Structure formats: C-alpha cells, structure tokens
Chain A
Amino acid sequence: MKKIALHDIHTSLNAKMVPFAGFNMPVSYEGVNIEHENVRKAVGVFDVSHMGEFLISGENALDLIQKVCSNDASKLVDGKAQYSCMPNEDGGIVDDLIVYRINAEKYLLVVNASNIEKDWNWIAQHNTMEATMKDLSDDYSLLAIQGPKAAEAMQSLTDINLSEMKFYTFEVAEFAGVKNVIISVTGYTGSGGFEIYFKNEEAETIWTKVMEAGADFGIKPIGLAARDTLRLEMGYCLYGNDIDDTTSPIEAGLGWITKFSKDFVNAEALKKEKEEGAKRKLIAFELDERGIPRQGYDIVDENGKIIGVVTSGTMSPSLDKGIGMGYIPTEIAKSKEKIFIQIRKKAVPASLVKLPFYKG
C-alpha cells in the first residue's frame, strides 16, 4: 500500500481511510452529506494525490499525444487544458485524462490512479516517435479546492487573479509561498474551483495554508465519498464505473472529445460507430419513487425484461432523490421515457433525464 504525503494529517482529522487504487485515501471526515453541501455552498478541499501525472516532452510530444488521445490536442495553447480519453483498439477506453499544454514541447497528462501502470505501458507502446516520457506520479501531490467560494478563499495565497482565470486554463505560479505550483481551473464537482499540483515535500505547507486561508470561508476537508456524489450529480463519467476497456467514447456520450480531424488509435472504427450510431447509450435517470440505485443493479422494462445495467448510482444529496447512469439499447433510450431499476425485489420506476442532474 502506498502512502500519500498528507496521510497523517488526514488521520489526525479523523478521516475514515479506505484502500483505493493502492493508496489509503480519505473517504469521509464528517459525513458525506455535510461535506457535499459544503462544496456546493462554500468551499472544500480534496486530497487526490493518488492521481497519476506523466510529463511528455520533446519535439514529438504532440505527435504522441495526438496518436493516443481522442481529443485534438493541436487546439491547445500554452496554459490551456483539455479533457480527453485514450481509446483502445477494441472499441473501448484505456483511460480518461486531462492534457495540459505547458509549452509546445511539454505536456502534462493527468490520469486515473487505478490506471497509472496500464496507461504508462499503453502510451510507451505507441511512442514510436520517441517523445520523452516521465512518470511524476510518486513525486507530486494534488489538491482539488472546489466550491463557489474557492477563488475568493484562496486569493490571499497567490498574486494570480484567481477569479479572472477561465475554465480549463492553468498557471504555473507561486502559491502559499511555494514556487512552481500548477494552479488549474478544473475539477470534478461542477461547483467551480481549482486543482493544484505541487511536489510532495510541499504538501504539508500548502495544506496548512489552504486551510488557514479558507477558514473564514468555511473550508472543510472533503473525502472521496462526496467527490463521487458531486461528480455524479453532474453526470461526469467515472472510469471503472461508467467507462472502461469495453465501453466506447461514442456510447458513453464522449463524442464531444472524440475528434476525427486527426488520426488516433481506433479512429476509423469509432468514426464508423459515430456515423452509424452506437447500439447502446449511457443514459441518466432519476427514480420516481424512493430508493437508491447502485452500480450493478439491473435496468428492466415494464415487463421485467433486463435491458441494461446501472454503472453509477447514489442518493443525490442536493436533489434528495435516487439518481444514476447506465447503458441501455439506443432504440429503447430513444423511444421510452420510463425505465425501471431492479432494487432487490422491487422494480422501481425511473425517468430518463438530461444531464446534469444538478443544475445549480
């Protein structure tokens, strides 16, 4: 089991720690509902240092990224980030990630913790153009500072004007007295805020200053449990749940990050799938009655016939109802407004809805 830099600080805050992707991670502190609401209404800080970071550099860096990623990284300029995914050759997804352009020959790829080794090997395997690859995952920590008050709460820690930064841009700047911190306007909550990357040895200093600066704004530490309810209220895909090695970006609703303006792994097959229409589709639903949908529950029709499976589900703390996502045949998704979720012995009616669930 690997240890994140701030492990002891989390346990001193009475965090419940659970093993996740080879790390002991804080899953909750005070309780998922309180933490969730704190992010929606004020600001919270998540330690997501388990995430992986790869530095891709050299004159062929962009070529490698264009080859393995579905989105068009040539559209990036310095200081801009892009959500993307890496398709495999069988129609599925190796991982989803964020690509940061530091400069024309230097890119940072941020990948899921559970996929670090798989991604590294996958990218290396396609690196015929000999770009320089460096795995920084063990050296860097990552805090997500999220919520409507995030910019205001963190402003005293940096000279960068945080409230003027645009979504999916970043700066490499001094933050909390530490130089070369990546301040990125990204996140996984839908409530605004930042993700900041820095070396492990700075983690304690930065954590302490973030908590001090945020104190007047009601900042709280937030665990992975609330991270999951927050992202699901927005309908953001979670790798391992809603997308994986067997789901295509087209059926997952990630067509918007799949750009056929350039060549990439499995582009031809995905283009065909997009043109012909995917056979199944990731849909979003809300339960009409009480109950909580969960990953793995069957989706059934009015006759009880299984038509799909729930990939993510929870009780939405903001909406106070059961919400979820799952795959069903596209024709059913188009023709029906009601589906049923099999919760133990009961088929609970659910309505198909448009994302996001939470509209702020």
Chain B
Amino acid sequence: MNIPQELKYTKDHEWVKIDGNVATIGVTDFAQGELGDIVYVEVETVGETMEQEEVFGTVEAVKTVSDLFSPLSGEILEFNETLEDTPEKVNTDPYGEGWMVKIQIADESQIEGLMSPEAYKELIGG
C-alpha cells in the first residue's frame, strides 16, 4: 500500500499536502482501492468556506458513493477540473494527478491534529 511519507492523513482516508498556507487534498491509495472504479468526482463548493469535517464533495464509484470531508477549515480555492473528464486518475494516480481540491488554511493549529503516515498505516491495518 502506497503511503507517501511527506503527506498527512485523516481517518476518512484523505491525504493532505501542506504548502505554506494552502493544503492540497485527495483520497488515499487505500481509499481508491476500496471504492473501485471511480466515475465522477463532484465538487460544487469552490469559493465556499468549509468547517473542518464538513462535506465538500462526493466521489461516485460504480458500486458505491462516498462523501468527501474537508480535513481542515478554510476556503476551497480550486477543484482539479481535469477530473471532470478523467475521474479515473483518482484510481491510477491518487497522490498526483488525482488530487481533488486546494484549501486556504484558516487555522494552522488544525494541522497538528492530522495523522502521520505511520498512524494512517496502522489505521488501515497495513
């Protein structure tokens, strides 16, 4: 199972990359494997300010649908619009081209509460 060292994680199987005061968000390799073939990524919250844990979108796979939870509070700056046409990138490259949104971090103290790669690995029984 691929769990990059440089990222932070959540119990909802999302990864967070911190870059100054902007966080890039996606779902983990484990999550895409559990979801199976992804058909749509729906994010209609660009420009909105999310509370931590609030639903910012949904991901629809052939067999299941899953909410996407904001790992941090802040404004949704950008949605990866290439996923509109090629949602399968979430399956093939979850940590790269399959990224989903960028968030303007509102409260940096929340970063500390995210999971380390080791803790996430333990969560998924790896």
Q: Which residues of A contact B (CB under 8 A)?
A: 28, 31-33, 225, 228-229, 290-292, 294, 314-315, 317, 344
B39 contacts which of A28, A225, A315, A344 (Cβ < 8 Å)? A315
A315 touches B62 (CB 8 A): yes
Tell me which residues from 59 to 73 in chain B have a Cβ below 8 Å from any Cβ of chain A: 60, 62-63, 65
For B88, give the chain A residue with the smallest CB separation. A33
Tell me which residues from 10 to 40 in chain B have a Cβ below 8 Å from any Cβ of chain A: 36-37, 39-40
Contact digits for B58-102, partner A, Cβ 8 Å, 1 yes 0 no? 101011010000000000000000000000000100000000000
- A-B contacts besides A225-B36, A290-B40, A291-B40, 20 pairs, CB < 8 Å: A28-B36, A31-B36, A31-B37, A31-B91, A32-B37, A32-B63, A33-B62, A225-B62, A225-B63, A228-B63, A229-B62, A291-B60, A292-B40, A292-B60, A292-B62, A292-B65, A314-B62, A314-B63, A315-B62, A317-B62
12 inter-chain pairs at a CB distance below 8 angstroms, sorted by A residue, are: A31-B36, A32-B37, A33-B37, A225-B36, A225-B63, A292-B39, A292-B40, A292-B62, A292-B65, A294-B65, A315-B39, A317-B62
A32 touches B65 (CB 8 A): no
In whole Å, how far is B31's beta carbon from the nearest beta carbon of chain A?
14
In whole Å, how far is B27's beta carbon from the nearest beta carbon of chain A?
16
For A345, give the chain B residue with the smallest CB separation. B44
For B58, give the chain A residue with the smallest CB separation. A344
The answer for the CA separation of A225 and B61 in the assembled complex, in Å, is 12
Q: Which residues of B contact A (CB under 8 A)?
A: 36-37, 39-40, 58, 60, 62-63, 65, 91
| Residues from chain A with Cβ under 8 Å of B36 in the complex | 28, 31-32, 225
The answer for the CA separation of A344 and B65 in the assembled complex, in Å, is 11
The answer for the CA separation of A290 and B63 in the assembled complex, in Å, is 16
The answer for the CA separation of A229 and B65 in the assembled complex, in Å, is 15
For A225, give the chain B residue with the smallest CB separation. B63
| Residues from chain B with Cβ under 8 Å of A228 in the complex | 63
For A229, give the chain B residue with the smallest CB separation. B62
| Residues from chain A with Cβ under 8 Å of B40 in the complex | 290-292
In whole Å, how far is A225's beta carbon from the nearest beta carbon of chain B?
5
For A33, give the chain B residue with the smallest CB separation. B37
A315-B60 contact, Cβ under 8 Å, with A292-B40, A292-B65: yes
| Residues from chain B with Cβ under 8 Å of A292 in the complex | 39-40, 60, 62, 65
The answer for the CA separation of A291 and B65 in the assembled complex, in Å, is 11
The answer for the CA separation of A344 and B62 in the assembled complex, in Å, is 17
In whole Å, how far is A94's beta carbon from the nearest beta carbon of chain B?
27
| Residues from chain B with Cβ under 8 Å of A229 in the complex | 62
| Residues from chain A with Cβ under 8 Å of B39 in the complex | 292, 315
In whole Å, how far is B39's beta carbon from the nearest beta carbon of chain A?
5
| Residues from chain B with Cβ under 8 Å of A294 in the complex | 65
In whole Å, how far is B17's beta carbon from the nearest beta carbon of chain A?
26
| Residues from chain B with Cβ under 8 Å of A28 in the complex | 36
For A34, give the chain B residue with the smallest CB separation. B37
The answer for the CA separation of A44 and B21 in the assembled complex, in Å, is 50
| Residues from chain B with Cβ under 8 Å of A291 in the complex | 40, 60
For A320, give the chain B residue with the smallest CB separation. B39
The answer for the CA separation of A28 and B32 in the assembled complex, in Å, is 14
In whole Å, how far is A293's beta carbon from the nearest beta carbon of chain B?
11
| Residues from chain B with Cβ under 8 Å of A314 in the complex | 62-63
The answer for the CA separation of A228 and B36 in the assembled complex, in Å, is 14
The answer for the CA separation of A33 and B91 in the assembled complex, in Å, is 12
The answer for the CA separation of A91 and B57 in the assembled complex, in Å, is 42
In whole Å, how far is A16's beta carbon from the nearest beta carbon of chain B?
8
| Residues from chain A with Cβ under 8 Å of B58 in the complex | 344
In whole Å, how far is A328's beta carbon from the nearest beta carbon of chain B?
23
For B39, give the chain A residue with the smallest CB separation. A315
Q: Which 4 A-B pairs have the closest CB atoms?
A: A33-B37, A315-B39, A32-B62, A315-B62
In whole Å, how far is B45's beta carbon from the nearest beta carbon of chain A?
12
For A28, give the chain B residue with the smallest CB separation. B36
The answer for the CA separation of A315 and B37 in the assembled complex, in Å, is 10
| Residues from chain B with Cβ under 8 Å of A315 in the complex | 39, 60, 62
| Residues from chain A with Cβ under 8 Å of B63 in the complex | 32, 225, 228, 314
For A27, give the chain B residue with the smallest CB separation. B63
Residue of B36, B37, B58, B60 ringed by the most chain A CB atoms within 10 A:
B37
The answer for the CA separation of A333 and B63 in the assembled complex, in Å, is 27
